[in-house]
Every structure is written in structure tokens, then in C-alpha cells.
Amino acid sequence: MFRFVIEDARRFKSAIDSIVSLIDEGALDVTPAGLVLKAMDPSQIAMVCFSMPKAAFVEYEVGDAVRVGLNFDSLSKILARAQGGEKLEVAQEENKIAIRFYEGKHKRSFKIPVLEMPLGAGREPAIAPDSVVKMLGSTFKGHLRDAALVSTHVSLQAEEAGFKMEGHGDSSDLMVEQEKDSPTLIELKVTQPSRATFPLQYLEDISKACPEAAPLTLNLKTNAPLKVEYEVEGAKLSYYLAPRIDSD
């Protein structure tokens, strides 16, 4: 059994939306140290790793670690009903999860079922990136909006000179270039030039929950899964996305 309280209910929704962007259902581990989730998307192309430490909550009461299967889409819709100034309490009550919003003497309660779920995604992939690129979430999402005008896939490329995003459609092309000393690049570390191609829709889903002003990190290796990292409302997110391997 567990119970935790967060000061601003809307903050918790922002954190949970980082999961909903990729999966509808998953197994959440509630541990004495915090909340943890590792799950593959239904197509097995992408993986989300979510962790929210005990320090992110104003109250956190957990005995032994417990794994609860949740419909995160339903949870997000309930959390969307949060009003400004409301606290949020989440507690396990037998085979259901109670979600309570309260401010002063005004309270609202919802309950959702605990689902039977498989064990989960297991370990995170062990990938040593050859390039690390960091920029604001708003910058990266702006690049993706540009790419959506021309293609369903984009190529990410990092080299000593800078970072590039490239897209090609039936009749249109896109090339975004950020030189190493560009003010839009927070960090660029390249031990070896890296290039890989990924489905645009997944990159949009993965970056969707990243706050506009928060740093977003791309860990890139040629023709290897991409690791995307950022933080949202005290939660740490790592996503892994399989590349498209060109036959030529």
C-alpha cells in the first residue's frame, strides 16, 4: 500500500503526460525511493524510462515496493480536471487507485482500477553515444515542425562542425544546421561523427512533454538507437528510439 501527495496537481499531470505520449498502459513501480516506469510502446520501436524521486512529493508514504498496472491515458484525463491551487493525493486502496484533489475544505475523488500487467521492459539499452547534442525543447520541437512539412522521417547528424537535421519528401527537402558556436546549441560533444534516421512521428511523441525552456539531450550513434533525455516537473525521462536502417 502507498500514499503520496504533490503540492500542485497540474505539475503531476505534466509529468504523467511524458508517459502517455508513448504508451496508454504500463506497470508503475512505487518504491521507497520514488516512482519508476520502464515500458515499450506497442510497436516495440520505442522505450520510455520514467523516474520521479521521493523528493518531488510533499508527502510520500511507501512500505515495500509495489508494482501497479495503470491506464495512463485515463489517469491523464482525470488529472486534466485539476484546478489551480489544488493539491493531489494518490493512494492505493485494495485493487484500485484513489486520486483526490483538494484545496481547503473542497475535495474531489476518483478511483481507477489496478490492471494486471506483464513484468515490463526490463533493462535500459546499454548504448555508448558517439555524439551528445543539447538544446532547448522549444528549439528541437521547432525543427520537427519544419521537418513535418516535407517528410515522415528525419536524419540527425552530429559532427565537430555542428548539428544537422535533414528531411526529404517526394518533392520537398529540409536542412536545418546549427553550427557548433550557435546560441541555440547548449552543448555539443562529438567523439566520432554520428548519423541516423528516425520516424518523425516518434520524435514528436517523445519530445512532446518536454517544457519549452528545458534542455533536451540527444545521445546519437550511427545507425543505433537514439537516447533522448529531459526533465519535467521533477521527473527524469529517458526515451530510446530504434533507427531506420537504409538498405543502401
Architecture of domain 2-113: Roll (3.10)
Domain 131-241 classification at class level: alpha beta
Cα Dmax for the chain: 66
- pLDDT, position 86: 94
Q: Could you give the residue range(s) of every CATH 3.10.150.10 domain in the chain?
A: 2-113
DSSP string of 82-115, one letter each residue: --TT-EEEEEEETTEEEEEEEETTEEEEEEEEPB
**Quick count: other Cβ atoms within 10 Å of Cβ 113?**
13
For 148-186, where are the alpha helices, taking DSSP H only? none
- pLDDT, position 109: 96
Q: Which helix (H) or strand (E) holds 19?
A: helix 9-20
- List b or e across 217-248, with b for residues whose CB sees 16 or more CB atoms inside 10 angstroms: bbbbbeebbbbbbbbbbbbbbbbbbbbeeeee
Query: Using 50, 70 and 90 to split pLDDT, how confident is the model at 118?
Result: confident
Query: What crossing angle do the helices spanning 200-207 and 137-147 adopt, rounded to 10°?
Result: 150
Query: Using 50, 70 and 90 to split pLDDT, how confident is the model at 187?
Result: very high
Which residue, among 153, 199, 210, has the nearest Cα to 21 in the 3D structure? 210
Which residue, among 97, 68, 73, has the nearest Cα to 21 in the 3D structure? 73
pLDDT (tens digit, 9 = 90+) per residue, 53-68? Answer: 999 999 999 999 999 9
Q: In what order do the strands lie in the sheet with 173-179?
A: 173-179, 162-168, 153-159, 194-199
Q: Could you give the residue range(s) of every CATH 3.70.10.10 domain in the chain?
A: 131-241
Considering only CA atoms, give the Rg of the chain.
20
- pLDDT, position 197: 97
pLDDT (tens digit, 9 = 90+) per residue, 4-56? Answer: 999 999 999 999 999 999 999 999 999 999 999 999 998 999 999 999 999 99
- pLDDT, position 123: 77
Question: Is the pTM value of this prediction over 0.85?
Answer: yes
Average pLDDT of the chain?
94
